[in-house]
Structure 1
Amino acid sequence: MSGLEPDRAPERASQRTRVVPLTGAGVLGGAVVAVVLAALGLVLSRVDLVLLALPLAVSAAWAWASRPPGGTGGPTTGLRVRASPDPEARVVRYGVGVDVDGPPGSAGTDAVHVRVSVLGTTPHDLVVTPAQAADLAGRAPILHSGPQLLLRLQHRLLGQDAAWFTAPARELDVEQVVTPRAVPVASLALPQRLQGLTGNHQSARPGDGGDFRDVHPFAPGDRLRRIDWRATARRARLADELFVRRTSALADATVVLVLDTRDDVGENVEDWTGHTADGQGVTSLDLAREAAASLATAYAASGDRVGVQDLASQARVVQPGGGARHRDRVVRAVTLSRPSGSRFARLRPPVVPPGALVYVFSTFLDDEAPRMATLWRAGGHRVVAVDVLPAPRTGGLQPHERVAFRLVALEREERMSALQASGVELLRWQEAPATVERAVALRTLARAGRGPR
């Protein structure tokens, strides 16, 4: 579900911070105990209590004296981060370097406390020496595709025996756009009518490059090398009558990928009240990005033209085109899609080229995406509704929430049935365990539209 950007460049981030030393709680506690013991010794005339308070007072005084100064003379730290997402292992490998510059004459820094946080996971704390902090390495899971926060780091310095410490430095966020994984697609559906003049698909019109079509009387414009002398000898009734072998022309398909980015729902039904799905588990936009990137890559490899539309924004449009550079442009547009939370209703569907095959990627939890798909189908396009709703988990729902979820599920089933009744074909895109069912569904879609166009 995750990968690198097309440039394969790791994300780098750095910051320089001047930290403010604070006195440790142990030093303050020792000083308070020393004062109390000394006061009791004076009041009770007990020398042993005064002698007992003496080492505590000396220790507190030494810790206070060795405490580095604040302000411009205080210690500074530099934090460097390099993160490289791994598309196969679904993890981000990162390297962290903390450079500590202590003030002259101070006791120095005894340890560095580094906290690494990833969205949806428990923060990981490390306490290492300054030498070890200069070169740390680790890895964290990649939760989703698209624009996201990969890492959040925070650090602070600890003095000898924790006599002093610094307030945590400001957080450093490492953000990157993680492209979805493009899975192989062996079977591709085609539009009802091919409009292109070149390509890899058989069309209904005569031309060059395709399979044998028929034998036809010679007409102006036919090439002499296509004359079939055997057919002419059998069929010709006149001396000047000739017959030629005609083949079908090859054409390319026009495919438009329509993303419904108005919301993003995850596997946990309890989180469906918001527009985004944070934390663990696959989300609807994760599946939509993966499905759109996979289909765009497969159609581009077949020489077809691919474009992108977004139901949540009129500005996110990539017109259909072909070639490797255009494929990267389409995948980039799909990768940058993020939930907008917009719930506006369109008066008419976005304009798509005549005869295009339209894929609509949505959860179909409301009527907007089905309405657009029905309008495109009524306009003569072949429309495939791609269901990207993750398998819902209802374990933590209350009884009334379960009833509400059942009502939402029933309404969704009615929308899907109405789509099928209007001629829209359905495709469910799920995670890896359902790859066999998905391959069968894609093959069925490809066979349903087989034949010259």
Structure 2
Amino acid sequence: MPILLPQTTSSRPLGRWTASAAHVRAVILAAGAAVAAVVGSRPDLLVIAAPLVVAAIWGQLTRPRGAAVAEVTLSNGTLREGDIASLVVRVNGAPGADGVFTLASSRWVERKPRSGVAPIENGVGSLALRTTRWGRREVGTVSVSMSSDWGAYHVGPTDVPDLATATLPVPAAFDASAPTPHPRGLIGLNRSARPGSGSEFNTIRQFHPGDRLRRIHWPVSLRTGELHVTSTYADEDAHVLLLVDAFSDLGPREGIDGRPTSLDLTVRAAGAISEHFLSSGDRLTLRTVGAANVPRLGAGSGARHLRRVLETLASISPASERRDDGERAVRGVDANALCLVLTPLVDQTMVGLAHTLASRGMTTVVVDTFPEHLTDNPGNVYEALAWRIRLLSRQAQVHSLVTRGVPVVPWRGPGSLDHVLRDIARRASAPRMGRRR
């Protein structure tokens, strides 16, 4: 399935102007009344048919001569969930003509007005639409019809090629106060284990050539008679790998205004985590498992990279590549990266990938995005029994990960990763046994 790129402009000729039934009827009745008045010497018939004669002549004189072309424009091709965009229809080559256009209904696209019908006056018409779920999709077919004065001539209805939009997921609320483990970059906000230019205090030492004068510690310098300066730990950036599970989309799909599915939670959590780490100056890599035609996003940082992350998440089509074993996604990953596996822990492939990353010595955390409302109100006793069996199997998979040293953290928004990141940082700074040579 090819990726649907945003398309904000579309146009099509409306065709030839044809006489309406009312205009043909007015012409025939006016001509018949004129003939009857002359043959039968009935001038009163001319008076009765005078309105039809005026309407027929006026409609004929105001007949549009040019070819009408409808141009449909979408105000923004890339939206966020819940955003509103304007759909504008302009008809060129039809001066004085009015009409209507209709936007066909499309899933996850709300029309305002809800009927999807809007008038075209002076060649311009518009309506508002609202996207309610992330993804790339067509907004619906626009059908345009126009008529001249007195409804004498009309053209259409003609369908204009569909427009396409990319709806980016709205990142969930997330914040983490714990430091990112294993900073190994050049710049950032994470405290490194080595001394250097930073903001966190390390120790007080003697002055060396090249030290900044503002770091002189005057109380110690006056007491010892030699210049001493304060040294700090270096601030560096860390590398974060997001591994997104796209094998399943569990739950009713209700959009931004309803309950989230498992993939909704996964995608929005990935967006929130990306926004947090990228705003902190860290580098981030995004890989997807179980979805076809999703580009591999390499390491990057900054607001532009966040936009690329959200666009990549919006291109996910769930379960479109069931044979994906994830080996390509974890190939070439930095050994010092913090690997965050976002999954509802339903497909065994993601559990195996978490084991694989941990066996390679990488710092791995599984973020559980299973929606709790799926098991709250089962429809019948058989569905409840099926969920109970599946949750028991899922609990065994979680236990196998925890036993291996891979923490499994349920997604709860802000603070979800604080505890586990502090534990990882504490474990990384703890003394280790080494082999004596």
**TM-score (norm. length: structure 2):** 0.67
* Aligned residue number for residue 81 of structure 1: 73
Contact persistence 1:114–1:154 (CA under 8 A):
yes
Report the Cα offset of residue 145 of structure 1.
1.9
> In 2, Cα distance between the equivalents of 1:24 and 1:278?
45
Query: Is 1:382 aligned to 2:363, yes or no?
Result: yes
Aligned partners of 1:76 and 1:396: how far apart in 2? Answer: 56
What's 2:106 paired with? 118
Match of 2:126 in 1: 137
In 2: Cα distance, 1:408 partner to 1:295 partner: 28
CA distance in 2, matches of 1:369, 1:89: 27
Deviations along 1:46-77, whole A, 9 cap, x unmatched? xxxxxxxxxxxxx9xx99xx89xxxxx99744
Gapped regions of structure 1 (runs ≥ 5): 31-58, 68-72, 236-241, 270-276, 430-436
The TM-score with structure 1 as length reference comes to 0.65
Pair 1:294-2:286 in alignment: no
* Aligned-pair CA distance for 1:389: 3.9
Alignment of 1:287-436 (within 5 A): 287-312=265-290, 316-339=295-318, 341-346=320-325, 348=327, 349-392=330-373, 397=379, 400-401=382-383, 403-429=385-411
Aligned to 1:38: none
Question: Which of 73, 95, 99 is 2:91 aligned to?
Answer: 99
- 1:183-235 Cα shifts (integer Å, max 9, x gaps): 5543155554333354322233344435444578x8xx976859999989999
Cα distance in structure 2, aligned partners of 1:356 and 1:188? 19
Amino acid at match of 2:12: R
The structural deviation recorded for 1:144 is 1.6
- The aligned residue for residue 29 of structure 2 is none
Q: Does 1:16 align with 2:16?
A: no
Q: Distance in 2 between matches of 1:407 and 1:23?
A: 69
8 A Cα contact 2:239 2:338, kept in partner:
yes
- Tell whether the 8 Å contact from 2:10 to 2:162 is kept in structure 1 after alignment: no
C-alpha distance in 2 between matches for 1:439 and 1:418: 26
Residues in 2 aligned to 1:178 and 1:97: alpha-carbon distance in whole angstroms: 22
Q: Is the 8 A contact 2:97 2:146 kept in 1?
A: yes
- Offset of residue 119 of structure 1: 1.5
Distance, in Å, in 2 between the alignment partners of 1:390 and 1:25 is 59
* Residues 241 and 337, structure 2, Cα contact 8 Å, conserved in 1: yes
Give, as a single letter, the amino acid of the residue that structure 1 aligns with 2:121. Answer: A
**Deviation string for 1:296-352 (max 9, x for gaps)?**
222122222211122246973233233444444444434444435111243744331
Q: Counterparts of 2:379 and 2:326 in 1: how far apart (Å)?
A: 37
Aligned residue among 413, 417, 424 for 1:442: 417
How far apart are 1:20 and its partner, in Å?
6.9
Runs of 5+ in structure 2 lacking a partner?
A: 26-51, 430-437
* Inter-partner Cα distance in structure 1 for 2:421 and 2:81: 32
Letter in 2 for 1:12: T
Where 2:420 maps in the other structure, the secondary structure is helix
Q: Which amino acid aligns with 2:252?
A: E
How far the C-alpha of 1:171 sits from its partner, in A, is 4.7
Cα distance between partner residues in 1 of 2:246 and 2:78? 25
What secondary structure does 2:331 align onto?
Answer: coil
> 1:143/1:300 Cα in 2 relative to 1: closer, same or farther (>3 Å)?
same
Q: Using the alignment, how far apart are the partners of 2:218 and 2:83 within structure 1? A: 66
From 253, 274, 278, the equivalent of 2:238 is: 253
State the aligned residue count: 383
1:180 maps to which of 159, 169, 178: 169
* Aligned-residue offset at 1:353: 0.5
Task: Give the Å deviation of 1:127.
Answer: 6.0
Q: Match for residue 193 of structure 1? A: 182
Q: Could you tell me whether the CA contact under 8 Å between 1:150 and 1:175 is conserved in 2?
A: yes
Instruction: Give CA-to-partner distance per residue, 1:274-313, whole Å, 9 cap, x none.
Output: xxx9997644444333322222222122222211122246
In 2, are the aligned partners of 1:387 and 1:428 still within 8 Å (CA)? yes
Change (3 A) 1:410 1:160: farther
Pair 1:98–1:375, CA change in 2 (3 A): same
Would you say the 8 A contact 1:428–1:438 is kept in 2? Answer: no
Taking a change above 3 Å as real, the CA distance of residues 112 and 358 of structure 1, as seen in their structure-2 partners, is same
| Change in 2 beyond 3 A, CA 1:387/1:150 | farther
Query: C-alpha separation between the residues in 1 aligned to 2:100 and 2:216?
Result: 85
Distance apart, 1:368 and its partner CA: 0.7
2:184 is paired with a residue of what secondary structure? coil
SS at match of 1:256: strand
- Equivalent pairs: percent with the same residue? 23
Q: Which moved more, 1:366-375 or 1:290-299?
A: 290-299
Closer/same/farther in 2, CA of residues 410 and 268 from structure 1, 3 Å limit: farther
CA-atom RMSD in angstroms: 5.0
Amino acid in structure 2 at the alignment position of 1:294: A
